[in-house]
Structure 1
Amino acid sequence: MEELHPPIDRLSVATSSAIRIAERTGPDYHLAPGRTAECLAAYRRFLSRPGSRLLLTRSDCPACPGCAYDDVAEVRDALEAVMLALPARPRAELRRLLGPLDAAFLRRTLPNPDPRPDRWDGRQGMREPWWYRRAYDDD
């Protein structure tokens, strides 16, 4: 018998269940049991920091699965991976939850003053997602 879990903060029971299934069965390293709830909390913590403008901070050890999430761009990457692994309805609900958070992220962070157009996302052959093209504290 499967253990019952409370819903993930601000998500329905059905979407929370779909996320837990994706976390257990997904091929992406971002998909690990409990990671979605942790990443949502980390994204909200970043956005609740004081000040009108926020700068991203790079992880000291980006190759380490735990330390990589010290960079909020990696956190947002993980949330995107979960969203892409979900069926249509849970994906839409998670997208609705992320919409206002993403809007706050864009509003409170600055564009990278020196974007690196040579950086590509090797998984999809596309430029890195928009959340990597924001200013870091070491730019």
Structure 2
Amino acid sequence: MPRKPPSQVRADLPREARSWESRAVIPGLSGKTLAEIARIERRSGGLWVGGTRLAFTHWRWTAHRPGPRVIYPVDEQCCDPMTGCRGALEQVRLTLPRAAGRELLAVLAPLDERFLARTLNDPFAPPGDPWWCRRLENP
């Protein structure tokens, strides 16, 4: 009986998920919504597996980061070079089914409110940009 090559034996072994492959729970989302997000991440070319969690974590840090009452947005280019992490989350939200999208929006709403309360409007920003891009940049 022929033996399996060592590479096949290693490939058949169960392995732990690496941190960047993790689909860790986003607080406040149901398992069904998390499963939908994982399906979108596997299917689309926009985000990698776990990219939504990374974008959410970065957006939460941006909204809650320490500092003065008024903050200036830092480089938000962690996920998407055009719109940043909040844009990536919005893209996922629009791709999700309606109920799951509303659930994600409900989790994002307190972070968005806090971000809006702690940043200043940029009166010179192009009106066609998303609201999170129309905030003042660091001088």
Same-fold call, TM cutoff 0.5 = yes
TM-score tier (shorter): 0.7 to 0.9
Partner of 2:37, secondary structure, is helix
Query: What are the within-5 Å matches in structure 2 for residues 1-139 of structure 1?
Result: 7-27=25-45, 29=46, 31-50=47-66, 51-58=68-75, 68-69=77-78, 74-117=84-127, 127-138=128-139
CA contact (8 A) 2:23 2:53 kept: no
- What is the TM-score of this pair, normalised by structure 2? 0.73
Gap change, CA 1:128 and 1:5, over 3 Å in 2: closer
Query: How far did 1:17 drift?
Result: 0.5
Deviation by residue 1:70-93 (Cα, 9 ceiling, x = unmatched): 88x511000001001101111110
RMSD: 2.3
Q: Which stretches in structure 2 are left out of the alignment for 5+ residues? A: 1-16
Deviation by residue 1:1-59 (Cα, 9 ceiling, x = unmatched): xx9955333211111111000111125x2x22101110111111111212211101236
Partner of 1:97, secondary structure, is helix
CA contact (8 A) 1:47 1:104 kept: yes
- Which residue type is aligned with residue 54 of structure 1? I
User: Would you say how many aligned residue pairs link Structure 1 and Structure 2?
Assistant: 116
**Pair member with larger Rg:** 2
- What is the TM-score of this pair, normalised by structure 1? 0.73
CA contact (8 A) 1:58 1:136 kept: no
Identical counterparts, % of pairs = 34
Displacement over 4 Å in runs of 4+: 3-6
Q: With CA pairs under 8 Å and 6+ residues apart, which has the higher RCO, 1 or 2?
A: 1
